[in-house]
Amino acid sequence: MRRARVLLIAEAANPEWVSVPLIGWSLARALAEVADVHVVTQIRNRAAFLRAGLREGDDFTAIDSEAVAGPLWKLAKALRMGEGKGWTMLQALNAAAYPAFERRLWKRFGGEITAGKWDIVHRITPLSPTISSPIAPRCRAAGVAFVLGPLNGGVPWPAAFRAEMRAEREFLAPLRAAYKALPGRRATLAAASAILAGSRHTASEIPARFGDKLFWLPENAIDPARFSHVAAHAPGPLRIAFVGRMVPYKGPDMLIEAALPMLRAGRARLDMIGDGPLLAGLRAAHGGTPGLTFHGWLAHQAVQDVLGEATLLALPSVREFGGGVVLEAMALGVAPLVVDYAGPGELVAPGIGFKIPLGDRAAIVAALRSELERLADAPELLAETGAAARAHVARHFTWQAKAAQIARLYGWLLDGGARPELLASPQL
C-alpha cells in the first residue's frame, strides 16, 4: 500500500493541553507514521508545535483566524457563566467562528488541492458533528477525497438528570438538533468520501443515505509510553478510584453514597481524583469517612500513580461523550465500572469491564452499591478483567493502532477494493 499524501486539518491540536486539542495532536502525530502528512492548525497552537520540534512550513502551517475566533471566544466565556460549563453554547459559537479558519486554509492550500498535490484532505478536529466544512465540496469538485472525523458529541441529557443539565448551564442543549437543518451540514456530508463516527449516537445523526461511507471509530486512544504502570491487584479491601471533574453529571456524589457502607466497614477504599464545584461540599460532608481520600487536581503522572494502585475505576457519569479515562484505566490493567450510556458504555464490553444500567439517581446508586459488593468478593475476577482490558487497549486503542486503522481507510479511498472494517463496529 503506497503512503497517502494527506493534508490534515487539526484546528484544535496541542501537546500541552488536554481534551480535544490533545486528541488532535496525538492523532496527527500518529498519522504521520503511516502517511505523508502536513498539519494545518490554528495560530494559537503554533508555539507548542515549535516547542515539540515540528518545523513550520515543512511539518505544519498555522492559520491565523483570531480576528474572528478571538472575539467569539471571549463572548463564549462570558455567556457560559462558569468555567467548564455551557458546552452547547461554546460549540454554537465555535460553529460560527470556524468557517473563517477554513476560508483562510483554502486561500493557502486551495491551489495545491486543485492541482493534485494532496491525495486526501482529512479533518480530524473540530470533533463536533455540528460544525460543517466549507471546503469539503471544493475538495470533491477537485477530485480529492475528503475524510471527516472522528466526530462525537451532543449525547442527549437523560430525562432523570434535567437538574444536572441546568447546573451545567446547558440551556441550549434542547435546541442542539436544529443544526441538522443547516445547509452547510448537508453539503459537508454529501461531499465527504468517508465519515468517521466516534459513537453510536453520532452515527445515528448521520442520514441513512450516507451509510455506505460511515465508519465507527472512537476518537480516544492512549500513548503506551505514558501508561507503563501495571495495576498491582494486591490483596485487601476493594480499591476504587474515581477520576474526573467533580461535577453533577459525572456522579462523584452517587459513587460516594453507594460506597459508604463498604468504606465504613473497611471493605473498600476510595480515591477521588479531580477538582470542580462539588469538591468542597463533598469534602465537608464526607471528609472524615475512613478509607475515603480526596486528592483534588493531580498532574497526569500522579493520576497514573494513584489509579494504578486501584483494582477498579468507577465512573458513574450519565453524559460522557468519549470516556478517555476509561481507556487510561484499562491501559493500566484496572477494570472499569461504568453506566451503560454513551461513550463509556461503548468502550466497555463483557470480559474487559462492568456496566450498570442507566436509570435515575436512586437506581444508579443502588446498582453501583450492588456491583461494588459483588466485586469486593471477586478479586480474581477483577484481576482477570483488568488483564484482559489492558490487552484489549494495547491491541485496538493505542494511537499507533488507530493510525493503522485509518491507514486502511486511506488505502480503500485511493485504491478501492473491499470496504475496510476499522474496528468491530456496533450497529450503525
pLDDT digits (tens, 9 = 90+) for 284-337: 999 999 999 999 999 888 999 999 999 999 999 998 888 899 999 999 999 999
**pLDDT recorded at residue 241:** 98
Q: Where are the domains of the chain?
A: 5-221+398-415, 224-395
Confidence check: pLDDT of 206 > 50: yes
Cα separation, 33 vs 35, whole angstroms: 6
CA 243/CA 184 separation, integer angstroms: 38
Nine-digit cell string for 247: 461535577
**Spatial contact of 28 and 49, defined as CB atoms under 8 Å apart:** no
Q: Note if the pTM is more than 0.85.
A: yes
CATH of 5-221+398-415, one of 3.30.465.10, 3.40.50.2000, 3.40.190.290, 3.50.50.60: 3.40.50.2000
User: pLDDT at position 427, please?
Assistant: 44
Percentage of residues of the chain with pLDDT beyond 70:
90
Give pLDDT, residue 166.
74
| CATH node for 224-395 | 3.40.50.2000
Mean pLDDT of 213-242: 88
Alpha carbons 120 and 425: distance in angstroms, whole number: 24
pLDDT of residue 347: 94
Q: Does 150 sit behind a cis peptide bond, omega within 30 degrees of 0 on the bond before it?
A: yes
How many Cβ atoms from other residues are within 10 Å of residue 64's Cβ?
Answer: 13
One fold for 5-221+398-415 and 224-395: yes
Q: Inform me whether the pLDDT recorded for 117 exceeds 70.
A: yes
pLDDT digits over 209-223, tens only?
A: 999 999 999 999 999
Q: How far is CA 66 from CA 14, 50, 62, 239, in A?
A: 16, 19, 11, 47
For range 271-281, the mean pLDDT: 96
Q: Which three cell numbers stand for residue 240?
A: 476504587
